[in-house]
Amino acid sequence: MDGRKRNAELDGVAETTLWTLHHRALAARNPGSALTDPKAIEVIDAVDYPFERRFGTGNWGFAQGMAVRARCYDREVRRFLKDHPDGTVVSLGEGLETQFWRVDNGRVRWLGVDLPEVAELRRRLLPDAPRHRTLPCSATDSRWMDEVDASRGVLIIAQGMLMYLPLDVVHRLIEACAARFPGAEFVFDTPPAWMAARTARGRWKYPAGYRPPPMLWGMTPAHRRGLHAVHPNIAAVRAVREPRGRGFLCGWLLPLAGLLPAIRARKPLWVTRVSFGLTEHHQGVNR
Ligand SMILES: C[S@@+](CC[C@H](N)C(=O)[O-])C[C@H]1O[C@@H](n2cnc3c(N)ncnc32)[C@H](O)[C@@H]1O
């Protein structure tokens, strides 16, 4: 990066990318954290935006939570690249995530998709390169699908995004992906229903006045089971277990919450992997 600051004027759901960057960079700056991400620090230092005034000087719990979530996605991408080293990763709502630099195997092709105002900022900070590019396009617009080379495997990820879309729109997106990318996987995270309800009531507010936009839905075990019915080509829906973080909250409480049915529904992070089967036509083609 050239030392110049890029102005970031985002609001609403687009601004949430600065919130996640703030907390991920906070985790990355701390040597005791579980996340190594020097690029996130480089990016945040190049953005002209009052991070501390808007989001506070640092909530260590959120920072650890973002570190665990990022590492969970990194593990999913690495798992995919082991089987498909030349595959394509599509990151919906990629914002200012620097995951490409954490997991790059030198061969993966990467397509980031985000709303035009965020994609434009991302391209100024992280310009397109031969194996990594950003498309200004809503995740709900099928235009991005035309840009995906599916010949060597596809992994679609949506980190911290689907909760900002209505649930029926999410179902239509998963349905479209299942039809368009047989054999691919879709990994996404959602908050629990109680947390989404809290943002919807405007209960989550920062002293400086920042109020995160409402999360429109939260995951429940019934929701997750219901995903099977979204498209006949959905072969499996699995809960992804988060990697262990640091400290009491993310090192002990979060993993424990996943094991105890009585408190599982209150877990702050739910990561789900949906696998699409190969249709008869594609099985024939691949034989
Ligand atoms: C909480 S941020 C997460 C950003 C990034 N994935 C991360 O984890 O740091 C949510 C992102 O979703 C993007 N987003 C929201 N609605 C979208 C849509 N319909 N299409 C594409 N991106 C969207 C926002 O612009 C924002 O960048």
Tokens for 189, please give them: 């995270």
Residue 38 lies in a domain: no
Residue 83 lies in a domain: yes
Residue 155: the pLDDT is 98
User: Which CATH number is 155's domain given?
Assistant: 3.40.50.150
Residue 284: the pLDDT is 44
Residue 5: the pLDDT is 80
Quick one: which atom of ligand 1 is closest to the CA of 73?
A: 8
Helix 38-45 to helix 12-29 angle (10° resolution) is 130
99 lines ligand 1 (CB under 6 A): no
Residue 213 lies in a domain: yes
Residue 23 lies in a domain: no
How many distinct structural domains can be found in the chain? 1
Residue 159's domain comprises 68-243+264-286
Residue 101 lies in a domain: yes
> What string of pLDDT tens digits covers the 287 residues of the chain?
777 787 778 989 999 999 999 999 999 998 777 899 999 999 999 999 999 988 888 777 888 889 999 999 999 999 999 999 999 999 999 999 999 999 999 999 999 999 999 999 999 999 999 999 999 999 999 999 999 999 999 999 999 999 999 999 999 999 999 999 999 999 999 998 888 888 888 777 777 778 889 999 998 888 888 999 999 999 999 999 887 766 666 666 666 666 666 666 777 788 999 999 986 555 544 33
199 lines ligand 1 (CB under 6 A): no
Burial category of 161 from C-beta neighbours within 10 Å (exposed 0-12, middle 13-18, buried 19 and up): buried
Tokens for 106, please give them: 């030198």
Residue 204 lies in a domain: yes
- Ligand 1 atom 2: the closest Cα is on which residue? 17
Q: Can you name the residues that pair with 236 across neighbouring β-strands?
A: 275
CA 75, CA 279: separation in Å to the nearest integer?
Answer: 27
184 lines ligand 1 (CB under 6 A): no
Residue 172: the pLDDT is 97
What Cα–Cα distance (Å) separates residue 91 from each residue in 47, 138, 148, 237, 285? 21, 12, 11, 19, 27
Residue 93 lies in a domain: yes
Q: What are phi and psi of 188, to 5 degrees?
A: -150, 160
Ligand 1 centroid from CA 231, angstroms? 24
Residue 258: the pLDDT is 67
Residue 252 lies in a domain: no
